[in-house]
Structure 1
Amino acid sequence: MKVLGCLDIEVDTSLPAERVVRVLDRLPQQRGLPKQLRVDNGSELISAKLLDWCEEHRIEVVHIQPGKPQQNAFIERFNGSFRREFLNAYLFENLTQVREMAWLWRTDYNEQRPHESLGNLPPAIYRVKLENSSYDCLSLREVDICSYEWQNTL
């Protein structure tokens, strides 16, 4: 499985299940829905709201084992890049600034930044090469491609 970019990014002081579902509701407009959702055991990812949403959309939910982040290695790699290249690289003045800059970072990550796992192509270019590709599994974690819980440290 190859990660074909950051599908969405949500930044706030907390991200309950309702917010995760709202982000997932945006996916069909972008790439369609995955067949499987791989998640850790964060409270928002084991909630009835998320599980009901997945059942309604016929998406299999796979929970990784507690304490086994390697079972979600692709998102762990993404989280490390996001933390190193974005969160640890800037001092933010407010949540609005974080949101705006996160969206710009996401755009660069998807459209400009070469990815070694994709033959040093950005995901947007790699995806064009795959023509009509679909993704089978979406990986989520408390800190993930769909949401990032921003710790207000100002």
Structure 2
Amino acid sequence: MKREAVAYLRAGHGLSERRACHIVGADRTMIRYRSQRAPDTELRGRLRELANERRRFGYRRLYVLLRREGEPSGINRIYRLYREEGLTVRKRKARRKAVGTRAPILVEARPNARWSLDFVHDQFANGQRFRVFNVVDDVTRECLAAIPDTSISGRRVARELTALIERRGKPGMIVSDNGTELTSNAILRWCSEHRIEWHYIAPGKPMQNGFVESFNGRMRDELLNETMFRNLTHARIVITAWAADYNTERPHSALDYQTPADYARALTTAIARPAARNESSARRAIAQPAPIGVNTNRTPVAAG
């Protein structure tokens, strides 16, 4: 600001540099100084490319991606260039936050300890609505399934969960809301046959299913709001590719900016070598608290 003020006084009023600096209160050495900093042209260009590819990524995730590529710059430098390039992510309207105390459910820090599932809705370019059935591992944060279709019944949910168990193994617990597909006779019967503990959150309390709700928010922000889906085939291709990228490429802030797949591998390795655990890791044998307030008194029982 002082440099601009001095320039204005000299150009607009014909004052000398000495007089202008005296009026503004600026040091003449500071006014004459010219930065010797490198222009960072290549780094700025790559940062813009990544920001255009990942339009909803902030500077922290972009910094992680640059470090993967071998960029030695620190996070402060990346943040400065990020601001100078005008890449700040536009914030969408925040939702009202829940208040009050809740009792969390603690689970063992291992894959498949608990799954959360939910639906998210969108529409095609022609206005036809469709939904996506999402399944998330609450400990590793992996997206286990993201299945789009125009209609997904309770029987379809049961089939998809059966196929998922065949690929990945049986979960210790499943958490969901009270949607009609998830409280249907098909799901109750499926739970009884597979002997899986299923907990329903309290009605009207979506944050009790916070892990999958957070995932839904990321999906909507980074994918659904950024993509115009032509038809169901297009939606399946794009959503499958995004889910794979989410698991293997996208840095996750809750996992210290590891990817969910990398975190799951590290967790599996640590479990396989219990003798190598020290006291510090033993204190972390409990995963982050879940979905606080999950109703533990209601387990599905087969109807009829």
Q: State the TM-score, normalized to the length of structure 2.
A: 0.43
> Is residue 19 of structure 1 aligned with residue 156 of structure 2?
yes
Q: Which amino acid in the other structure matches residue 213 of structure 2?
A: E
Deviation sequence 1:4-34 (CA, Å, 0-9, x none): 3100111001110111111101222332111
Aligned counterparts, 1:1-154, within 5 A:
2-131=139-268
Alpha-carbon distance in 1 for matches of 2:244, 2:253: 17
Deviation at 1:76, TM superposition (A): 0.6
Q: Which amino acid in the other structure matches residue 91 of structure 1?
A: M
Runs of 5+ unmatched residues, structure 2: 1-137, 272-286, 292-304
Alpha-carbon distance in 1 for matches of 2:153, 2:160: 11
Please identify runs of 4+ aligned residues in structure 1 that moved more than 6 A. none
Q: Which has the higher contact order (CA 8 A, sep 6+)?
A: 1
Question: 1:44 aligns to what SS in structure 2?
Answer: coil
Deviation sequence 1:75-108 (CA, Å, 0-9, x none): 1100101111111111111110000100000000
Q: Which amino acid in the other structure matches residue 178 of structure 2?
A: N
Deviation at 1:60, TM superposition (A): 0.9
**Percent of paired sites with the same residue:** 44
**The 10-residue stretch of structure 1 (30-39 or 43-52) with the greater mean CA deviation from structure 2:** 30-39
Alpha-carbon distance in 1 for matches of 2:140, 2:150: 26
Contact (CA 8 Å) 1:113, 1:122: kept in 2 or not?
A: yes
Contact (CA 8 Å) 1:9, 1:103: kept in 2 or not?
A: yes
**The 10-residue stretch of structure 1 (27-36 or 105-114) with the greater mean CA deviation from structure 2:** 27-36
Contact (CA 8 Å) 2:140, 2:264: kept in 1 or not?
A: no
Deviation sequence 1:120-139 (CA, Å, 0-9, x none): 11111111101266xx9xx9
Alpha-carbon distance in 2 for matches of 1:24, 1:15: 13
The two structures, once aligned, show a CA RMSD in angstroms of 1.8
Contact (CA 8 Å) 1:114, 1:122: kept in 2 or not?
A: yes
Deviation at 1:3, TM superposition (A): 4.1
